[in-house]
Amino acid sequence: MENGSSAAELPRVGFSIGEPGGIGPQLLFQLLAQEGWEDRFIPVIFAHRRVVERWRGFLGLSTLRYHRISRPEEAQPGQLNLMECAPLQDILIGKPSAEGGRLARQAFQAAVQAAQAGSLNLLVSLPVDKSTFYEEETFPYRGHTEYLRALYPDTPPLMVMVGQTLRVALVTEHLPLAEVASALSAEKVEQALRTFIAALKRDFAVPKPRIAVLALNPHAGDEGLLGKEEKTWLAPLLEKFREEGHFIGGPFAADGFFGSRQYTQVEGILALYHDQGLIPFKLLEGWEGFQYTAGLPFVRTSPDHGVAYDKVGREEADPSSLSSAIWEGLAIWHRRQAHP
């Protein structure tokens, strides 16, 4: 083993399969078919054997082997370890299916339970198709973070997009724009800020993080002419943080903040809604960033792209985001081991 490490010391990385017909399984199996990870981590895949077999044949990865296990602790180094989840008759490569959505849900739930139990050192969630992942009666969550938030209502986890130059946290995620203003409050933004500050200190080793908070309205409300949220509660809240000794700037009008490259002067950015943070993030970081969930007792990451059915089977499919989710996720885990 590399640097004299034994198999027992290798971290276990769990992968929830996501949408089995999407780009996630392709990128994962292609990555694991390459050399270089065997001495770094032990992969545990939460899926179904038909997913592995179908993709192995589709991608021509005949040498890719897997070992079925009943619990993560049985996982062996140097091979794929499969934890079977929901029953599966078949998958539609490059297309969504209700059956695939059910597998994605159950795989994620099983992987989260394993992470909560301490059986995984890192959980990497592959992309899901929200149209099949969401199920009104049994799984009323639009995405991974919403489900995690339901598990930890007293300390809600926070979605953070992480790249080479940006760390963008979102106060609200998968909401229609018409619902954003009513979903925001001083209490919700304060909670998100405190979670973000703690995560930057613990998981990213930033002792005194500088954070910029974006405004809800154009021109930061223009003294109440274009919206009153900034004047009535957002600006006073940020002043409260500054009085506590935190380095918090804003509220900044998003267009001017990114246009003037002020993002280069901070370690974190708090966006109030999805596109406010995700559009500049993806423009500046491309597909090399990844998603990280702050505030959890375990480390969870994910690629920053969707199921990308149109890229399935093509050489142009880019594994950079998945690779970042794995290696940077492991770096976060190692920091937690050094500073529990």
Residue 107 belongs to a domain with what CATH number? 3.40.718.10
Helices and strands, number each (H, E), in the chain: 12, 12
On whether residue 277 sits in a domain, the answer given is no
On whether residue 238 sits in a domain, the answer given is no
Rounded Cα distance, 197 and 33, in Å: 38
On whether residue 149 sits in a domain, the answer given is yes
Give the range of the structural domain holding residue 129, as residue numbers without chain letter.
1-153+297-303
On whether residue 319 sits in a domain, the answer given is no
Rounded Cα distance, 242 and 247, in Å: 6
On whether residue 50 sits in a domain, the answer given is yes
Chain segment 8-53, per-residue pLDDT in tens = 689 999 999 999 999 999 999 999 999 899 999 999 999 999 999 9
On whether residue 270 sits in a domain, the answer given is no
Chain segment 244-291, per-residue pLDDT in tens = 999 999 999 999 999 999 999 999 999 999 999 999 999 999 878 999
Chain segment 175-189, per-residue pLDDT in tens = 999 999 999 999 999
pTM of the model: 0.93
On whether residue 172 sits in a domain, the answer given is no
Number of domains in the chain: 1
Say what the pLDDT of residue 7 is: 58
On whether residue 29 sits in a domain, the answer given is yes
* DSSP sequence for 50-80: HHHHHHHHHHT-TT--EEEESSGGG--TTSE
